[in-house]
């Protein structure tokens, strides 16, 4: 990273992408609302202090969850007389499940982008206009000189193509992981 400002912006961007997962992990492990807020703040401070050691070539979420898990274990040791909600093994299982769950939407988004890129430009444009820009079928029909029924059929066919492409891509990822 070139400047401190760029480093801070990159950190905040990475953190915002996994904040809900970190909060979920902490909520599953710490009973009190105030304690959860304190632990979250402590985790963020540790993440920021150690961000220089984070390998930007790897996903941020698993690294951040690992830091949070270690911090939670420290909290459990500190609260000897007041045990946490989960034993260590279950804490690690919860962390792994949260990471896996959070990664699915990102991988599906990447698969959708790749599959959209494989469609002919007119078809990809139609999908983008309908589903990303939320243009009505009637407006799309008027723009293309087709009937609304024809546009619905075309969109239905394109959705099936995209769904199949995404399934194939996700299947390839699963088999290589």
Calculate the average pLDDT of the chain: 84
Q: Is residue 85 part of a domain?
A: yes
Among 75, 104, 133, which residue terminates a domain? 104
Grade residue 21 by pLDDT with cuts at 50, 70 and 90: confident
Q: What pLDDT shows up at residue 1? A: 47
12 and 84 share one domain = yes
Residue ranges making up the domain that contains 169: 119-177
Confidence of residue 86 (pLDDT cuts 50, 70, 90): low
Rounded Cα distance between 30 and 84, Å, is 6
CA atoms within 13 A on the CB side of 41: 6
Same domain assignment for residues 84 and 9: yes
Q: Is residue 31 part of a domain?
A: yes
pLDDT at 94 over 80: no
Q: How far is CA 30 from CA 52, 71, 91, in A?
A: 28, 12, 11
Same domain, 46 and 76: yes
What is the pLDDT at residue 89? 67
Distance of CA 177 to the CA centre of its chain: 17
């Amino acid at each position: 990273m070139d400047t401190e400002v760029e480093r801070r912006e990159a950190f905040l961007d990475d953190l915002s992408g996994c904040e809900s997962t970190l909060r979920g992990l902490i909520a599953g492990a710490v009973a009190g609302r105030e304690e959860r807020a304190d632990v979250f703040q402590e985790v963020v401070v540790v993440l920021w202090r150690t961000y220089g050691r984070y390998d930007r070539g790897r996903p941020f979420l698993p690294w951040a969850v690992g830091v949070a898990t270690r911090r939670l274990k420290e909290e459990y040791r500190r609260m000897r007389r007041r045990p946490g909600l989960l034993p260590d093994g279950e804490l690690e299982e919860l962390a792994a499940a949260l990471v896996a769950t959070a990664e699915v939407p990102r991988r599906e988004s990447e698969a959708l982008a790749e599959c959209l890129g494989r469609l002919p430009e007119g078809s990809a444009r139609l999908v983008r206009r309908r589903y990303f820009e939320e243009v009505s079928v009637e407006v799309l029909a008027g723009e293309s000189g087709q009937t609304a029924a024809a546009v619905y059929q075309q969109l239905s066919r394109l959705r099936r193509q995209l769904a199949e492409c995404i399934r194939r891509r996700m299947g390839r990822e699963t088999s290589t992981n």
